[in-house]
Structure formats: structure tokens, C-alpha cells
Amino acid sequence: MKIDYFLTVILTSILTMYFSYSALNGQYGLFNKFRFQAQEIVLLKQLDQIKSKNSNLNRKVIRLSDEYLDLDLLDQQARKFLGLMRPNEIIINFN
């Protein structure tokens, strides 16, 4: 009788410790939940940065498209990528 009670208490204690440990440190535990939430915040900030960079590039593409041609932007891009300059200009690179 005492042995059954003793084994039940031991088994219950072991199971309680196991499930408590799993609830905190397991794959779906509380600590991982907080880590995933922090990682989500960082990734959402990166997503916002990428979206803003993408919208800036889309605006440049539209400004260089056939329907809408921005001559100032075209001049700037030609100078930057092709190294073109006017005879009376001096170009200073800070690279």
C-alpha cells in the first residue's frame, strides 16, 4: 500500500517536472514564444525597409518609362552609370 502511494507520488512529481520544463523550454514553450515575437518585430522592420526601398525603385522605374520620361533623372542616371559629363564640368568622386 505504501509502495503504491510512494510510486504514485514519484511518478506524478516526475511528470509534473517534465511538463513544466516543456512548457517553459520546449519547442512550443514560453521562452521560444518570446523569442519568436522578438524575431517577428525585427523581421517586420526589415520588411518595412524593403517595401520603402521597393517603392522608391518603382517610382524611378515609372519616371524612366516610355509613358513618363523625367529628363533630369535620365541625365543623372546617364552621368552616374556611363560616366558622361559636359565639357565645362569637373567630377569629383568620393568613393
DSSP 30-77: HHHHHHHHHHHHHHHHHHHHHHHHHHHHHHHHHHBSSSSB-HHHHHHH
In a domain, 41, yes or no: yes
Average pLDDT, the chain: 87
pLDDT higher than 90, residue 4: no
Q: Is residue 75 part of a domain?
A: yes
Domain with 18 in it: 2-82
Predicted local distance difference test score (pLDDT) of residue 79: 80
Neighbour tally for 79: CB within 10 Å: 14
Domain assignment present for residue 95? The answer is no
Give the pLDDT of residue 47. 98
Q: What is the pLDDT of residues 31-64, one digit of tens each?
A: 999 999 999 999 999 999 999 999 999 988 888 7
